[in-house]
Amino acid sequence: MRFDSRKTLRVRMDHRQPVNLMGSDGTWRRSCVLLDVSQTGAKLEVEGSLDVLQAKEFFMLLSSTGLAYRRCELVWIDGTMAGVHFINADGKKKATSGQAAARNSARDK
């Protein structure tokens, strides 16, 4: 479902999906609710102080044990809402499927 003029397909959560944000060094943690998610990022409702989100990178923990997670960087904050962008293991932002297809097409020529 596309909404808010997004470039990538986003999935809006119908039920409250609890997640946690955690600093890369593990020194802080914030409870959140996942509002929507795409291949490249997510929109969250953050509980507690947002000042720690100014860190360059942090993790979004999708499971209570921390075994499912995504590396993120903050894109925007509006009140208790925050937008994050997912980061690849090589430190680059994830390419959208359209960008990846264009890159593969150019490479094949």
pLDDT of residue 2: 44
Pull the structure tokens for residue 75.
């894109």
Hey, where are the domains in the chain?
10-108
Cβ 35 vs Cβ 13: under 8 Å: yes
Nearest CA to 57 out of 33, 18, 92, 15 is that of 92
Q: What pLDDT, in 10s, does the model give residues 35-92?
A: 999 999 999 999 988 888 888 889 999 987 778 999 999 999 999 999 999 998 765 5
Q: Is the pTM of this model over 0.75?
A: no
Phi, psi of 27, deg, nearest 5 = -85, -15
Specify the fold of 10-108. Answer: Thrombin, subunit H (2.40.10)
pLDDT of residue 53: 83
Q: What pLDDT, in 10s, does the model give residues 7-38?
A: 678 888 888 899 999 999 989 999 999 999 99
Partners of 85 in beta bridges: 41, 73
Q: What is the DSSP string of 44-75?
A: EEE-S--GGGGSS-EEEE-STTS-SEEEEEEE
